[in-house]
Every structure is written in structure tokens, then in C-alpha cells.
A and B are shown apart, each in its own frame.
Chain A
Amino acid sequence: MSATMNADTNSQKSVIKGAIRIEDVVKVYDPDGAAVMAVDHCSIDIPGGEICMIVGPSGCGKTTLLNAIAGFHGITSGEIYLDNELLCGPGKMQAEPGSDRIVVFQNGALFPWKSNLENVVFGPMMEGKLSKEVIYDKAIKMMADAGLGGTEHSFPGEVSSGLRRRVEIVRALMLEPKVLLFDEPYRALDSLTKSVMHEALLDIYYKNKVTIFFITHDLEEAIFLGHRLIIMSSRPCKPKKIVEVDIPHPRDYSVLTSPRFRELMEEAKGVVNEEAKKAFEAGEKEG
């Protein structure tokens, strides 16, 4: 047990896995022949272990891009690589969903019919590689680490939405994924819970270095969490501006009041507002 843990930390020190390369990806939805271009020749390079925040106007195609990485639908052209291995591209337009890239959904997708603990052990139990005791021990330990002790035997519907989100993240981490894909996970939370969740997420991240692909509408959240902000253009989706957040990690909430944070906010806000306006005007024309 301890030997394997040592091996784990060693490999983490050398190279953090989970680099995602998106190359020239195009996604056209074609319902009833009316082609909607959701993603347009989009290229993004995310190094392993980075928190990459994706910001863009509503309906621009962010979820579409995330679903392509997760393997929920195919792409029209282009390639996506994970650690230089082709996920999807010519010859195989849809990636196979797998436990190396786990999605935390916009509305949450804990199974309401399983207790929190049963949810957390779901992945490894399905995999069936480890014994039940080992899996449950690990799950209870990870839940305790994430401040979820005592909620193991409650059902997701019985705990607050903030705790549910945390359970969902722990469920994902149980499989030691290389990439976590977040689709606006905190959209429905109030700002107080949100700030608690941000610190909890960073806390979990510092313990388990994974690549995080995080979609959000909230600029403050984006700058607080991310190493980098990728601001997307209005539909079709394509990186418009990349903002490097040069505030060192580990961060806590004092960062929010620092002058550098304000500067970055101003810089990002200008671009985002411009794109939001474009999206709105495009909507007016279509409507």
C-alpha cells in the first residue's frame, strides 16, 4: 500500500499527465439540414495540471467543445489529443468516454438513488479491479479529506447543493482521472457557497494535480481559480483572447482584493463584454 503511494508521488513529481491539445476542431450541428456551426477551427493547448478556464457568451459552443473532449458526441473535423494520444480525429470522429476524463455536469449528476458513499465508489466498483474493502476504505478516507465525513450514508437529495457538488468531485477523483471537465458546476449556487466551493476545489486540486477544463460565465471565479483564461468569441466558438493569470498558487480569498486581480478583471471584462454584445446582436438578427 505505502509502496504504491510512493510510486504515485514520484510519478507526479516528474511529469503531470493530462495535457489536452485541441487542433483545428470544427463542429457543425445539422438538425434537419439547417447547419449550425458551433465550433469554428478552434485550437487550444492545455498543459498537464493546468486549471484552464473557458469563458464565453451564452450559446457560443463551450459545452459542445467539452462534450467532444468527453466523447459524448463527435466532431466534424480536426483532432483532439490527450497526452499525445489521439482521442478523436480523422478516422474516429467520436472519442470513447472513459475514466481518464471525467465530467462534472452543469446540473450535477450524482445518482439520487445511491447514497453519497455508493456514488463515490461507483467508478472503481464498476471497474472491478480492486476489492470492495479497499475501495470503500479509500472512499471513506477521501470523503473525510474533502470535509464530507458524516454524509456517507445520506442520499444526495438530503444534503445541501454545495456538499453534493463536493461529493461529485470526489466521485470523479476516485478514478484518478487525468482531466476533470467542469461545465459551469457552480452556476446554481449562491455566492457564499460558491466561495466556499472555490476554496474546496483548490484544496482538492493541490492534493491531486489534475488538468482542469472549467467552463464558467463568472469572470471573478475564472480569474480566482485559473492559471489561464480562454475567452471565446460568440458563436461559432473560437479562442478570442487568452489571459495569463500570473497570481501565484496556492491562492486564497485575499487574492480578490489584490490590485493585480482588479487589473486582470478589467482586462478580461472589456473583451467579454464586446463578445457578449456581438452575440446579442447576432441573436437579434437571427430572431
Chain B
Amino acid sequence: MADAVKLDAPKLKAKDFKSDQEVRWCPGCGDYAILAAVQSFLPELGLEREKIAFVSGIGCSSRFPYYLNTYGMHSIHGRAPTIATGLATSRPDLSVWVVTGDGDALSIGGNHLIHALRRNVNLKILLFNNRIYGLTKGQYSPTSEPGKLTKSTPMGSVDAPFNPLSLALGSEATFVARTLDSDRAHLQQVLRAAAEHEGSAFVEIYQNCPIFNDNAFEVLKSAETRDEAIIRLENGQPIRFGDRAVVQSGYGLEVKDVADVDESDIVVHKSDVDDPAYAFALSRLSGTELDHTPIGVFRSVERPTYDEQVRHQVEEASAGVDRKGALDRLLNSGDTWTVL
């Protein structure tokens, strides 16, 4: 069965989740912080290490499984959700995680991402968004801001980027969240919520690539700007940040100075609103400039999972069946005749 993981008092420690492989990201890479946060979070799952599987695609971020002492597969570019779907569907006893990058998940693997989300396979998908192709040395990605100057776009990129959360919400995702590599407490809080969610959990993690896209998230990190830029979503709380607030506006949401709005007009966050339009409106508050960037759990609703339903059909059909006898009956079904 695929019950949501119960987060017990941890028996294991972060170090138990470190593999013997030397970690090989560039110095200062945001992936280190995410790895440390995940390693110290995993004991909270309350699972033995062998019950956890990490599957990744290709990219700097996708080296992740090699550094965890769990089962792991570093697969091929963009396809991790497919492999994870096969594993999660056939093995309900496992906690299956996908680690992917903005190129891996949104470019080459875009098709698999949206289908995993719409199916609601019990997977936790961690998208490390550095808004660049790291491993292939710095080409622009589907999340790079327009006009990006890279080796492959010396005069500036001209295509409009994806907003990963809007995409996930449009794909019928049941759990959608965003967090930051540099905020370990928040990152772990989001991982916890994702782990507890039954079904696909999509977590975008803003990750700094100091080599090819340094300071891409500086506005969310520097002491001078972050309070005005980060919107921390908390269930049951009015959405306020700095001296601003989020209010309804037309068909969507809008940021206003607190001074200009009535307290009662400030939207109170609820991640379990059934209509994805609300979470979608939240996802649209930040443009490529990241000036008003909500982090936290945007959406978390319940829907039957794909894997559970698939297994249920097979279990129902196969309960108590003696396969050999049934095969004999199958072979002999319909029109048969006997030659003496």
C-alpha cells in the first residue's frame, strides 16, 4: 500500500545517508546545501535506507543519487519520471524520489514531467532550478530569463521561459511547492510536507550555479532585498511580506502596499483549495525578475494516486489466483479441438 509516509522520530542520522562517493560539484554550488539538507531530513522519514530510492536524469543536479546511501539510479536525460513511475507502481513499499534539473525536467523531459503529475504517481520530484544548463557548461534553459546571454545565445535568448509552478499546476499536480537552496529550515519544511503528501509532489528548489549563472536568486537572498521579494506562504496566515500584502485583483492576485488595503482584503493562504486557479494566481505573482516570489506549499490536495489504483486493479483481479492453473484455462479457452 502507498500510505503517505509517517514521519516518526528518526532512528538514523544524517551521516547514515552519506554514501562513500566523493561529492564533485563545483565549490559553492547550491547542490551541496540541498544535499546536506536532504541528508539530514531523510532520517525523519522513519524508513530504513533500503526502502528509499532516488532516481535522477542527467545534469549536475542529477548526480545527487550517487551521494546518498539509499538505492539510486542515475538514468538518462529527462527520463527519470518514467523509470520512477515503473518502480513506484510495482513497488508500493518504497519511497521513490526524483531529482531533476530545469533542463532535465522542463526541456527534454517535459512530456514525462507533466504526465507523472497528471497521473499523480506517488513520487517526490525535486527540481533543482538554476535557470541554466550546468553540466553542459552554461547554455540557457527553459527557465532562463529572456535576453539571456550564453554561449548558445550570444545576442540574447529570445524565447519565453516556463514558470515551473504554473506548468505543474496546469498539469493537474496535487502538490506544488517552492523553496530555496540557502534556507535549510524552509527547504526541510517543504520536504516534510512533500513526503507526507500521497501522490506526486512537485518541489521547485531555486539553486545557485556560481559558475554559469551566479547570483540568479540574489534578490531572494541578499539582506537588502529579500524581505521585499520573498513571500512566505503559510497555511491560515494572511499573505504579507515586508510592508506589502497579496489581495485579489480582477481574476487573479496582486501585490499592494499594506497601507493601501483593508486588513480584511488580504488573502489568507490555504494550500488545500480545490480549484487550482488560486495556486496558479500565486505562481504568477513572480515574473522572471523574481520581484515577488512566493515560497512554501502552493497547493496540496488529495486525489487517488495512479500507482495505487493500478495495483488495486491487479490485486483485485489476481487475488487467490493460481497462475499455472489459470494459464491452463486460458490456453484452453474459446474454440479448441482435440486430435486423437
Does B bind A? no
Binding site for A on B (CB under 8 A): none
